[in-house]
Amino acid sequence: MNSQHLFFYDIAEGYRAGELERIERLRSEHSSKNIKEICALLSDALDCAFVSDVEDLIVYNRQLDTIQSIVQLLYETRPKNSCRWSIPLLKESYKNLDIQLDSREILTRKGLHPSDYAIIINLSQYIPKIGCTKNIPQVDLVTIPHNADFDISSIAIVGHEVGHVLYETNKKGIIDDRISEFITSEFYKKHNVDKSKQIPIDVYVEIAEFAKNYISHICEHFCDLVAAHIFGLAFDIALLRAFLVIDNPTQPGKEHPAPSYRMKLAYKRLVAAMDTNGKNNGTNGTKLHSAFIEMVSSVANKCDSFSDFSPNDELCYKAANFIFEGFKIRYRLAIP
């Protein structure tokens, strides 16, 4: 390397040294074997031997950003920031869905605000240059809403995040199979396709377009159904409370269906369950039952003002239901 090359390498080396120190501190503070392994992978990923000009330095800086974000997230799983009390509940939810825990570890961090809840499935896969390294430590990082420490009912929202783990771990199997079975049959019906003849190309195109734009919406509905399965009414109440504060609830996102649609579905599940429970335990029509109905109605009053949803929204929800039914049959999940 000439002196100009060395100049860029030295800058990268400086960044590297600082980050290595943080990683070392993280490693020494955590007793988890998985985190120690992730620290070793992160240290390897900091290798800057390739940096010899400004372009390399830009690439290196980008990798460094990702590494720093992962290190920061892991810092937030230390006891004082995490919500470790929620781990037994999360483990129970995984077990309930038959998600193997032998080789996975669940970590938690406290969210920054009440609507900060999320999951990063298999965090190690985001380490730069990890490529096809086999046997990377399987760690799922769950963000617990900030207020769950003092408002326990809000914890049920994490059922949705556990749904994402079920979805991810079964994607290349039952999920993909059921989605394609459902979508093709719906579009064939819509276009009166005779399956014994050649399928018109425009039907294929329409199916592909739908899948491209709506696959993540199907996933979101599926995760809500999983959460409602694990946590029952507690999830639907938590969802309604979390979504009521959303500014523009009727606006769908690229990845998410309109919050208003998910609220309406949660509301319907709540009312149906309350009716059934009331009939079963004799509380239907009692003061307690009507007080509960009143409470839920007032919380969900907003739902009535939401307009109807598009046929594609309805189709996504139906598809999610179809996948979930498949799980119930295959894994004999107890019907809540």
Comparison of 32 and 122: residue with beta carbon closer to Zn ion:
122
Closest distance between Zn ion and the C-beta of residue 330, in Å? 22
Q: Which of 100, 104, 93, 112 is nearest to 157 (CA)?
A: 93
Comparison of 51 and 227: residue with beta carbon closer to Zn ion:
227
Closest distance between Zn ion and the C-beta of residue 265, in Å? 14
Per the CB < 8 A criterion, the answer to whether 239 and 220 are in contact is no
Neighbours of 272 (CB within 10 A): 10
Comparison of 38 and 157: residue with beta carbon closer to Zn ion:
157
Residues 79-138 close enough to bind Zn ion by CB under 5 A: none
Comparison of 256 and 302: residue with beta carbon closer to Zn ion:
256
Closest distance between Zn ion and the C-beta of residue 277, in Å? 27
Closest distance between Zn ion and the C-beta of residue 143, in Å? 12
Closest distance between Zn ion and the C-beta of residue 170, in Å? 16
- Distance from C-alpha of 251 to C-alpha of 46, rounded to nearest angstrom: 41
Binding mask 162-201 for Zn ion (x = CB under 5 A): ----------------------------------------
In three-state form (DSSP H/G/I as H, E/B as E, the rest C), the secondary structure along the chain is CCHHHHHHHHHHHHHHHHHHHHHHHHHHHCCCHHHHHHHHHHHHHCCCCCCCCHHHHHHHHHHHHHHHHHHHHHHCCCCCCCCHHHHHHHHHHHHHCCCCCCCEEEEEEECCCCCCCEEECCHHHHCCCCCCCCCCCEEEEEEECHHHHCCHHHHHHHHHHHHHHHHHHCHHHHHHHHHHHHHHHHHHHHCCCCCCCCCCHHHHHHHHHHHHHHHHHHHHHHHHHHHHHHHCHHHHHHHHHHHCCCCCCCCCCCCCCCHHHHHHHHHHHHHHHHHHHHHHHCCCCCHHHHHHHHHHHHHHHHHHCCCCCCHHHHHHHHHHHHHHHHHHHHHCCCCC
Closest distance between Zn ion and the C-beta of residue 160, in Å? 6
Comparison of 67 and 223: residue with beta carbon closer to Zn ion:
223
Q: What is the size of the binding site for Zn ion (CB under 5 A)?
A: 1
Closest distance between Zn ion and the C-beta of residue 259, in Å? 11
Q: Side chain identity at 66, as an amino acid letter?
A: T
Residues 278-307 close enough to bind Zn ion by CB under 5 A: none
Closest distance between Zn ion and the C-beta of residue 223, in Å? 5
Comparison of 34 and 108: residue with beta carbon closer to Zn ion:
108
Comparison of 73 and 136: residue with beta carbon closer to Zn ion:
73
Comparison of 19 and 220: residue with beta carbon closer to Zn ion:
220
Residues 199-228 close enough to bind Zn ion by CB under 5 A: 220
Per the CB < 8 A criterion, the answer to whether 253 and 246 are in contact is no
Comparison of 115 and 297: residue with beta carbon closer to Zn ion:
115
Closest distance between Zn ion and the C-beta of residue 76, in Å? 20
Residues that bind Zn ion (CB under 5 A): 220
